[in-house]
Structure 1
Amino acid sequence: MKIVELLDPAAVEADIQSVTKNEVLAEMTDVLLRSAKDLNREDVLSVLLERERLGSTGIGEGVAIPHGKLKKIDQLILAFGRSRKGVDFDSMDGKPAHLFFLLLAPEESISVHLKTLARISKLLKDTDVRDRLLMATSGEEIYEIIRVEETT
């Protein structure tokens, strides 16, 4: 499954304002709720915070992929956010995170959840892709960069 098949353009935020990890999780939850309006904000946030307690989802190189599993959904749901300033996300490399993919999966899903995490990681391992996402001027441009990268 491709990232753009899961990512609604409405769930892309080019200018995350949060300055702490917990604020980012809350703001990214709000971004996700733009396209997943039926979800309960507190349920989503609780799942994300619980996952972060197990260990940071900041994977390094300016990237974090907060994720979790939720009972009330039947398919993967994705949101993207960018912080120009960067946020301390307790990343493995100690560097601030600028690019955030938030992923929610149905509670029973294992395989597709892990494959999607791997697909996101692969996309953002490319320095050129990360640089273009950081330089993009709008959410629409960010979405288009992701879409084009998945078709090449």
Structure 2
Amino acid sequence: MKLASLLTPDQVILDMRSEEHLPAIAELVDHLVGLGKLPTDLRGEMLAALEAREEQVSTGIGYGVAIPHAFSEKIEDVIAVFGRSKDGIDFEALDNGPVRFVILFIVPKKDYQLHLRTLAAIAKMFTNCEIRKQLAAAESRTEILDILAGKASGNAA
């Protein structure tokens, strides 16, 4: 599954405000709730699941990228949001570098294998320095989606 297919322009935040990983996760979850993509009554449960995942090991995978993720038995389809931080977020990343791109997704528990494939595709795409440069320079949500879809670079996840 391509990352771009999980996102609409509304699910892209061009300039995140948070400076640390747990507030950044809350900012992204609140964005999904505000859009009506994540039911309000699941907000607390999803925040707890995402925070528990971060306590195991940071989802900051390096290259300025973090992929916080969780599972839910209460959703039917994958829910995702992309956030960009111009200043960087302290995500306690594996390489200790600031995170500039955060892809948060919540996966139905029944789709565990999809989650693994999606994580691998995202990680592979974001190891491409050119894609990260294009995403950093993008001026609109649509431009970011085009990059993620491979329309701007020929690479996608």
Q: TM-score normalised to the size of structure 1? A: 0.92
Residue of structure 2 equivalent to 1:6: 6
The CA deviation at 1:52 is 0.5
Q: In structure 2, what is the equivalent of residue 69 of structure 1? A: 71
Structure 1 residues 37 and 68: alpha-carbon distance in aligned structure 2, compared to 1, 3 A threshold: closer
Q: Who is 2:112 aligned against?
A: 110
Question: Whole-Å Cα distance in 2 between the matches of residues 76 and 52 of structure 1?
Answer: 19
Equivalent-residue separation in structure 2 for 1:114 and 1:151 (angstroms): 16
- Counterpart in 2 of 1:50? 52
Unaligned runs of 5+ in 2: none
Q: Which amino acid aligns with 1:105?
A: V
Give TM-score scaled by structure 2 length. 0.89
Identity between Structure 1 and Structure 2 (%): 37
Q: Residues 112 and 37 from structure 1, CA distance in 2 versus in 1: closer, same or farther, beyond 3 angstroms? A: closer
| Amino acid in the other structure paired with 2:145 | Y
Secondary structure, aligned partner of 2:29: helix
Contact 1:17–1:83, Cα closer than 8 Å, also in 2: yes
Unaligned runs of 5+ in 1: none
Q: Write out aligned runs for 1:9-48 (5 A).
A: 9-33=9-33, 34=35, 36-39=37-40, 40-48=42-50
Q: How many Å separate the matches in 1 of 2:5 and 2:95?
A: 30
TM-fit CA distance, 1:139: 1.8
- How many angstroms apart in 2 are the aligned matches of 1:110 and 1:37? 19
* Deviation digits for residues 104-125 of structure 1 (CA, Å, limit 9, x no counterpart): 1112322111000111111111
Indicate the larger mover: 28-37 or 6-15.
28-37
Q: CA RMSD in A?
A: 1.7
The more displaced of 71-80 and 95-104 is 71-80
